[in-house]
């Protein structure tokens, strides 16, 4: 991508707008606009040119943002693939669902399994791939109680595999977690790991 070559878009006696452009404007017009501004005169750029340049800036900003998101998504995908490959080699007990959710059973209970619309009471510890914990209930010593439909897709899918009194770890790729939007404390395209102890399934 070319580097910015121009900084001034539009200057007049009443308003100064400074933008970074990836396009060329005649140097004489630019200098004349600056001179007019300093002298309190009208800009050398007419309103139609100003409007057209603003639209070009808007388009370039959209394209740039989409490009950055695409690059971040591709980088995250490669990192996840490497992580899951290493995980499977290191721990053959890790299983994977059709959606790409990876999980390991630490202990299995014998009670009910969660279902759509039910409430679930559970402890959790949430961390990133590097082991950094970003959220948990263990530190407050009180399990959370919530409707399973309110939980993000990857964790909701995983918890429906559990019986009451079970203890699982879920390795959740970003497309099943918070995706490109991220959430508070979780950057966009982050894979997350949730350790879950399911205590109770309620109607």
23 and 100 part of one domain: no
Tell whether 80 is covered by a domain: no
129 and 168 part of one domain: yes
138 and 39 part of one domain: no
Which of the two residues, 187 and 32, has the higher pLDDT score? 187
107 and 191 part of one domain: yes
Tell whether 141 is covered by a domain: yes
Tell whether 82 is covered by a domain: no
pLDDT digits (tens, 9 = 90+) for 77-99: 999 999 999 999 999 999 999 99
Q: What are phi and psi of 107, to 5 degrees?
A: -155, 145
d(CA 161, CA 109): 11
18 and 60 part of one domain: yes
Q: pLDDT band at 31, cuts 50/70/90?
A: low
63 and 97 part of one domain: no
Is pLDDT of 122 > 70?
yes
186 and 103 part of one domain: yes
List the domain range (segments joined by +) for residue 150.
91-202
Is pLDDT of 193 > 60?
yes
128 and 198 part of one domain: yes
65 and 160 part of one domain: no
The pLDDT value recorded for residue 113 is 97
* CATH number, domain containing residue 168: 3.10.50.40
The pLDDT value recorded for residue 72 is 87
pLDDT digits (tens, 9 = 90+) for 35-76: 766 676 665 556 676 677 667 767 877 887 888 888 988 999
34 and 120 part of one domain: no
The pLDDT value recorded for residue 73 is 87
The pLDDT value recorded for residue 34 is 64
Tell whether 120 is covered by a domain: yes
d(CA 131, CA 135): 12
d(CA 58, CA 20): 11
Tell whether 81 is covered by a domain: no
98 and 155 part of one domain: yes
Tell whether 99 is covered by a domain: yes
User: Which token pair is 19?
Assistant: 């933008």
The pLDDT value recorded for residue 146 is 97
Whether the model clears a pTM of 0.85, i.e. scores above it, the answer is no
Report the SS3 class of residue 102: strand
Tell whether 77 is covered by a domain: no
Number of domains in the chain: 2
Which residue, of 37, 69, 101, is where some domain finishes? 69
Percent of the chain whose pLDDT exceeds 70: 75
Tell whether 146 is covered by a domain: yes
100 and 48 part of one domain: no
Taking CA atoms, 53 is separated from 21, 58, 69, in Å, by 9, 9, 24
């Amino acid at each position: 991508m070319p580097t910015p070559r121009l900084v001034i878009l539009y200057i007049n006696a009443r308003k100064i707008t400074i933008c970074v452009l990836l396009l060329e404007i005649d140097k004489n017009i630019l200098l004349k606009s600056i001179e007019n501004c300093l002298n309190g005169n009208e800009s050398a750029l007419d309103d139609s040119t100003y409007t057209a340049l603003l639209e070009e800036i808007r388009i370039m900003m959209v394209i740039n943002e989409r490009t950055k998101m695409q690059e971040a998504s591709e980088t995250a995908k490669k990192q996840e693939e490497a992580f899951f490959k290493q995980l499977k080699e290191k721990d053959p007990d890790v299983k994977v669902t059709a959606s790409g959710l990876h999980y390991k059973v630490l202990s299995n209970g014998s009670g009910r399994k969660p279902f759509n619309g039910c409430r679930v009471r559970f402890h959790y510890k949430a961390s990133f791939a590097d082991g950094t914990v970003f959220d948990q209930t263990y530190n407050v010593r009180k399990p959370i109680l919530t409707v399973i439909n309110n939980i993000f897709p990857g964790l909701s899918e995983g918890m429906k595999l559990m019986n009451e009194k079970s203890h699982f770890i879920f390795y959740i790729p970003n497309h099943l977690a918070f995706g490109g939007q991220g959430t508070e404390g979780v950057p966009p395209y982050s894979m997350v790991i949730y350790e879950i102890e399911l205590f109770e399934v309620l109607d």
